[in-house]
Structure 1
Amino acid sequence: MDRSKQVMLTGQLKWVERIASVMDDKFCLPGTNFRFGLDPILNFIPFAGDVSGFIVSAALLYVMAKNGVSRKVLILMAINISIDAAVGAIPLLGQISDFYIKANTRNIKLLKEHYQEGKHTGSGNGVIAIIIIVLLIVLSAVLYVSYISLRWLFAQF
């Protein structure tokens, strides 16, 4: 990578890092090392908080995609954002989990590993294959449990 591109990416990374910090770990509980950001605070506003946090995370993902991060990193970042959004949407559990599941911070770690250490390069096809396999296993388990439950239910009549 040429020097001018590297300087531009470093500037973009710093901007993204600041936003991620505000969302995930800007504040500290006095007398502890426990850090949190605006994301869990916003999520106390039903629906709007979840959506706003997701939009910020998606915007950060878009900025990195525009600046040439590898497809594999984008997939891993999207998984972090999706898990954060899915768990965050569950009432009560979502509010609690937002203090611990910090998708933006995890995504910054992925970016640093990618740009500074050369990790997570490639197409990401392996990650996609693993996701599909896991989803098929989960679907199979759900279908099997449903079948067994229905069979047991009909046997009761």
Structure 2
Amino acid sequence: MTASGTHYTRTPQSEKLKWVNHMATLMDNQFRFPGTKFRFGLDPILGFLPVVGDMASFGMSAILIMTMARHGASGKLVALMLVNVALDAIIGSIPILGNLFDFAFKANERNVNMLRKHYEQGAYQGSGKGIFIGALLGILALFILLAWILWQLGSWIYIQLAGLF
């Protein structure tokens, strides 16, 4: 049974990937807000540590994906997992908005669920090169937009501070 309460068939792969499931739960669903059903993990908590926390979360997600790839995830599935982690890393690095995003998105849980579907239904066959290239271009565009927004914000702050002196 997973943290979300769904059952899945035990296969040799699922036994080998028990650690992956445990780490995904730790990163995305380990804790519960008192009095609610809302769960969260270390990922959004680490997001409160600028740069270091985001890098630690990204590193753990990358290790999970590498482990899943070694245990039979197709190229297409790995590409889709990388898209989830990239979105989590990029949007999660935006102050305040990123912290809220980290509480809701749960990239590691999504990736484990996709892997489970891959094993049970044989989904996500193929190389995933097209998805990877498209995701890379989309992430690059998002990064450029984020850099432009930060530049504009920095320019505005500089002008405001220069006006005070």
TM class, shorter-length: 0.7 to 0.9
Structure 1 counterpart of 2:75 = 71
Task: Map residues 86-105 of structure 1 onto 2, 5 A cutoff.
Answer: 86-105=90-109
Work out which of the residue numbers 13, 16, 33 in structure 1 matches 2:20. 16
Work out which of the residue numbers 115, 121, 128 in structure 1 matches 2:119. 115
TM-aligned CA deviation for residue 53 of structure 1: 0.3
Residue ranges of structure 2 left out of the alignment (5+ in a row):
1-10, 146-165
What is the CA deviation profile of residues 82-128 of structure 1, one whole-angstrom value per residue up to 9, with x for unaligned ones?
00000011111111111011100000111001011111111124424
Query: Does the Cα contact within 8 Å between 2:83 and 2:135 map onto a contact in 1?
Result: no
Provide closer, same or farther for how the CA distance between residues 130 and 46 of structure 1 changes in structure 2, counting only shifts above 3 A.
closer
Q: Give percent identity, aligned residues only.
A: 45
Structure 2 counterpart of 1:39 = 43
> TM-score, normalised to structure 2's length?
0.73
Structure 2 counterpart of 1:25 = 29
TM-aligned CA deviation for residue 13 of structure 1: 2.2
Query: Does the Cα contact within 8 Å between 2:44 and 2:99 map onto a contact in 1?
Result: yes
CA distance in 2, matches of 1:36, 1:12: 25
Provide closer, same or farther for how the CA distance between residues 83 and 28 of structure 1 changes in structure 2, counting only shifts above 3 A.
same
CA distance in 1, matches of 2:67, 2:134: 26
Structure 1 counterpart of 2:148 = none
Structure 1 counterpart of 2:87 = 83
Provide closer, same or farther for how the CA distance between residues 24 and 123 of structure 1 changes in structure 2, counting only shifts above 3 A.
same
TM-aligned CA deviation for residue 130 of structure 1: 4.7
Structure 2 counterpart of 1:48 = 52
Q: How many residues are treated as equivalent by the alignment?
A: 131
Query: Does the Cα contact within 8 Å between 2:84 and 2:107 map onto a contact in 1?
Result: yes
Query: Does the Cα contact within 8 Å between 2:46 and 2:53 map onto a contact in 1?
Result: yes
Letter in 1 for 2:97: L
CA distance in 1, matches of 2:55, 2:134: 27
CA distance in 2, matches of 1:51, 1:43: 9
